[in-house]
Structure 1
Amino acid sequence: MIARQDDEEIPFLHRAEQPTTKTPLPWDQFWIVLLLEMPDLVSSHTLTPFIPQVSTFPLLGIICDQNLNWNFVKLIRDIGVTNGDESQVGHYVGILQSSYYVAHALTVFHWSQLSDHIGRKPVMLIALSALSVSMFSFGLSKTFLGLVVSRVVCGAFDPSIGVIKSVLMDITDATNMPNAYNYMPLTWMTANAVGPLIGGSLSRPADRFPDIFGRSELLKTYPYLLPCSVSAFFTLIAWLATYFCLKESVSTRTPLWKLIKRRFLRQSYSKPHRTSSSIIVDPGEANSGEVQSKPLPLRDLLTSRVLSITANYATTGLLQAAFALVQPLFFATSIELGGLSLDPPRIGALLAAQSVAHGICQLLFFTRLHDRFGAGAVYFTGVSFGIPIVILFPVINALARAYGIGMAVWLCVAVQFILKTSLFMCYSCLALFVRTAAPNRASVGATSGIIQTVAALAKIFGPASAASVFSYSLQEGHNTWLIYYFLIAIAFLAVGAALLLPRDPSVWEDHRAYHCE
């Protein structure tokens, strides 16, 4: 055994021995990972364009351009749950939308942890099956309870967050994982285009295409069944690709019936072990030079590294979600009240252009920035840019008040979009830290599940709190800058959490390997 040295010396000793050549991406498996990112995104985006803008809910429509499913408004009206009371529509839309995120937050850790034990592939097959059933169920629902149950099932079995990221960590290493995250935006860019196209063109087909579907009583009775069925069919294609092409990436697995038996008998999932700082290593268990051990229970996963990554995911997710809601609200609010007075079509065009620009920048620049500066530096820069991003809101409004919406305003909006691109890259940087923060390779799924649970909670709390503060700040007699103080506070929290991370994730990986020698 090597004599223990100070932590500050360990990274440099090990980094000198690391290979400089990059491992090629395993495209025979990586294309499946890209495909598996899409079913849930396509399903969610299929539901968004069921109806064009509702004039009686202009603000709600603008908010929901940020994928908050504002087009549930028409669906809520169709099923008659409000009994004609238009003031209650937003209430039921909020319940329908939040049910997905709450279910996801409550289950993502358990699915990720289960995948460490029984394997990624079985969990993915279960999740995709449930997702397909939930979409068929949504299209056939005629009651509000049926809609809520469908969205709860979809959120509870969302496979795109925890397990798929674990698969990606399994099939890549430290040299090619940054390159893998270069291609990840392709999935949501495609889903952003395909999902609304399916929902927008195929909803109410009997009314839109009477020559083709006008005689179908089924489609007249269930006007949203066709787009939901197409989305479910796409999910089934992903299921087939998973079943026939995806190779199991977990080397040591336990049959599900044994886990149930252990649970029933209140036995431990794994063999006796020590904490993550001194992991027991079984002789002969190694994969690519890394120690393989049994999955750890929750109490041993909450190491300082995992908690620091979790804190960064929470603060970054909170900042991102709050900004995503405030930005379209700012564009839509009148100049006199502190906004920019833009109409919905222009707002939609701006947000769409911003999304495309983010994906292109990620594809072209992320790997180069990572190789040049390191994941920690790129991440710290990204969250630090959150501060000028927020400051630009009142600056843009001040310019609009003084000179109208001219070149100066659009230049500041463009700068804000560019700065947000760096904030968008922060998630890819954090994903690189998750792999090395896990106490051992056998607990990558559970570690990712803990972090994604916190990220899901941030997606619930961020928009809700930001919307409340924004509305409060616009009321007469209140400080209109209150929302900016709120966002600045979150940005400073994110910067403070970023200081907990090293410059390079390999520092943690080398240190973990050192303790296993």
Structure 2
Amino acid sequence: MAAQVDEETPLLPTAEGSSIPWFQFSIVLLLLLAEPLSAHIIYPFAAELIRDVGITHGDETHVGYYVGLLQSLFYLTEAIGVLYWGRLSDRVGRKPIILLGLFGLSISSLLFGLSTTFGMLVLSRCLCGALNGNAGVIKTMITELTDTTNLPQLWAYIPFAWSTGTTIAPVIGGYLSRPAEHFPEYFGQNEFWKTHPYFLPCVIPAAFSAFTWIVGFYLLKETVKSPVPISHLKKHCADNSVQESQDFVSMHDKPVELRGIFTPRIFTAVGNYAFLSLVEIAFRAIQPLFFATPVEFGGLGLPPSTIGNILSLSGALSGIVQVFLFAKIHNHLGSKKTFVRGVVFAAPLFLTFPVARILVKARGMDTLVWVIIGLQAILPIGYGLAFGAVFMYINAASPDQASLGATHGFSQMSTSIMRAIGPVTASSLFSLSSGQNYLGGDLVYYVLFVVASVTICFRDFPPMCAPELSDRVSPRIAKSHMKK
């Protein structure tokens, strides 16, 4: 008699499974860290940078538009290419795509730090996103490292790696920007650091990406069975024989056609992930902007170093909870309840902004304002749990093992689109609200509160029943079932 499943059932079985290859998994996490480090390094000094390049011509109310555009460009160009990279990784293997992404992150970070015009900033961010398909490919590789019994524990480390990057990056960006002013004894005599005041923080993610490229090249093991050599792929593509090239992938597994991943189950899982990402990135976009904006324009007027500390604290708290509590919460509540209870933390976040704005104008930066800032650091922990749960649904929705790369590529493309829309829309609304004083400058927060509330309404859309995973999530699963 089949076991009964409902929304309280974890998507993954709880039986004892295979051991976790911790060394390879640690390498994968190290590689994953490069993307948030590169993406978030600009957050503490983005507003100052926009003022410095002169694109706003001194109009403080326009800073938000251009900050949001810079933040969105990375995800927009990533969305254009990530499905292609994921699909290609099903054929040539995960490792070559990951190494290419790390190379792109390193070069684009250096270009961003050397940029002195807004056009150069745009070009470097576009290059960074276009060459980077790592997030989806790395998630696929993690799935392939072990069987389903260990996945809740491993998935918990993905937000942790991201949180670590978002914790370290703001500190680096905040403290190392303008080194000629902050560290005059070391950098004050060199004109280069005065001309390029944001190059030093950008060197750190560039160097880290280069280091992880070397680590990945020598130590990372391929997880795709019999990947197509790139030389073979080039030859077959030139001969218009793409179908033949698929024969190299594996004697047993071939990726389904691209349209094969566009199923209702995948759309449901990916849709929830995408809208959750929209709310999250909108919050991440306006939070440092709100902190950096002068009090008279509706912000808190905090310096980059303080902003970096606040963002780092939030990232650290979220990462700790993910690693030590997510697997326990998921196993206790099940995938659906973990997702539902995590999502409800999103909407209250946006109400903390107008409260803080009113308090700082009336009382200055007193204890109560810092309590509100503390809430902004704690509440994201809740919806961070929802990310871990929705990853389970995406994994389970893949048509087969050979199409995991395309499935995660599609999910990453969808969330990248939302992450491209979120910053520029939220930041533009911030500037519009501040410049036109709509609802006392709080229009942006109420709009985002409504968006987050709508996302909560869609929380019931994940499948009510756990899909049959069989052996498609990991090649080790079939073996574990045969032993029972």
Task: Confirm whether residue 179 of structure 1 aligns to residue 153 of structure 2.
Answer: yes
2:50 aligned partner = 73
1:110 aligned partner = 84
Aligned partner (choices 376, 383, 386) of residue 336 of structure 2: 376
Aligned partner (choices 426, 441, 453) of residue 466 of structure 1: 426
1:412 Cα shift?
Answer: 6.6
Q: TM-score, normalised by structure 1?
A: 0.74
Task: Confirm whether residue 442 of structure 1 aligns to residue 402 of structure 2.
Answer: yes
| Cα distance between partner residues in 1 of 2:412 and 2:119 | 27
2:268 aligned partner = 308
1:363 aligned partner = 323
| Residues 226-237 of structure 1 aligned to structure 2 (within 5 Å) | 227-237=201-211
Structure 1 residues 86 and 220 mapped into 2: Cα distance closer, same or farther (>3 Å)?
Answer: closer
Aligned partner (choices 337, 344, 362) of residue 302 of structure 2: 344
1:442 Cα shift?
Answer: 0.8
| Cα distance between partner residues in 2 of 1:353 and 1:143 | 32
2:58 aligned partner = 86
1:456 Cα shift?
Answer: 1.1
Letter in 1 for 2:158: M
Letter in 1 for 2:49: F
2:461 aligned partner = 500
SS in 2 for 1:507: coil
1:31 aligned partner = 26
Q: TM-score, normalised by structure 2?
A: 0.78
| Cα distance between partner residues in 1 of 2:10 and 2:157 | 27
| Residues 344-423 of structure 1 aligned to structure 2 (within 5 Å) | 344=302, 350-390=310-350, 417-423=377-383
| Structure of greater relative contact order (alpha carbons < 8 Å, 6+ residues apart) | 2
| Cα distance between partner residues in 1 of 2:359 and 2:67 | 36
May I ask how many residue pairs the two structures share in their alignment?
Answer: 467
1:124 Cα shift?
Answer: 1.4
| Cα distance between partner residues in 2 of 1:349 and 1:16 | 37
2:417 aligned partner = 457
| Cα distance between partner residues in 2 of 1:205 and 1:335 | 26
1:300 Cα shift?
Answer: 1.0
| Cα distance between partner residues in 2 of 1:250 and 1:152 | 29
SS in 1 for 2:46: coil
1:227 Cα shift?
Answer: 4.8
| Residues 163-312 of structure 1 aligned to structure 2 (within 5 Å) | 163-192=137-166, 194-196=168-170, 198=172, 227-269=201-243, 285=252, 293-312=253-272
1:423 Cα shift?
Answer: 0.7
1:43 aligned partner = 38
Please provide the CA RMSD for this pair. 4.5
1:132 Cα shift?
Answer: 2.4
Structure 1 residues 408 and 134 mapped into 2: Cα distance closer, same or farther (>3 Å)?
Answer: closer
Letter in 1 for 2:302: P
Alpha carbons 2:68, 2:426 under 8 Å: kept: no
Structure 1 residues 380 and 213 mapped into 2: Cα distance closer, same or farther (>3 Å)?
Answer: closer
Letter in 2 for 1:152: C
Instruction: For structure 2, list consecutive stretches of 5 or more residues without a partner in the other structure.
Output: none
1:193-233 residue CA offsets vs partner (Å, 9 max, x unmatched): 54455556666667766776678787677665555444333
**Greater displacement, 132-141 / 88-97:** 88-97
1:29 Cα shift?
Answer: 0.5
Structure 1 residues 319 and 247 mapped into 2: Cα distance closer, same or farther (>3 Å)?
Answer: same
Residue identity over aligned pairs, in percent, reads 34
| Cα distance between partner residues in 2 of 1:426 and 1:71 | 33
Structure 1 residues 478 and 406 mapped into 2: Cα distance closer, same or farther (>3 Å)?
Answer: closer
| Cα distance between partner residues in 1 of 2:353 and 2:116 | 43
1:130 aligned partner = 104
Letter in 2 for 1:495: I
Alpha carbons 1:315, 1:490 under 8 Å: kept: no
| Cα distance between partner residues in 2 of 1:145 and 1:397 | 33
Alpha carbons 1:269, 1:297 under 8 Å: kept: no
| Cα distance between partner residues in 2 of 1:74 and 1:413 | 25
1:148 aligned partner = 122
| Cα distance between partner residues in 2 of 1:30 and 1:322 | 30
**Greater displacement, 256-265 / 305-314:** 256-265
1:44-64 residue CA offsets vs partner (Å, 9 max, x unmatched): 444x3xxxxxxxxxxxxxxx4
Letter in 1 for 2:20: L
1:85 Cα shift?
Answer: 3.6
| Residues 478-493 of structure 1 aligned to structure 2 (within 5 Å) | 478=439, 482-483=443-444, 485-493=446-454
Q: Which has more radius of gyration?
A: 1
1:321 aligned partner = 281
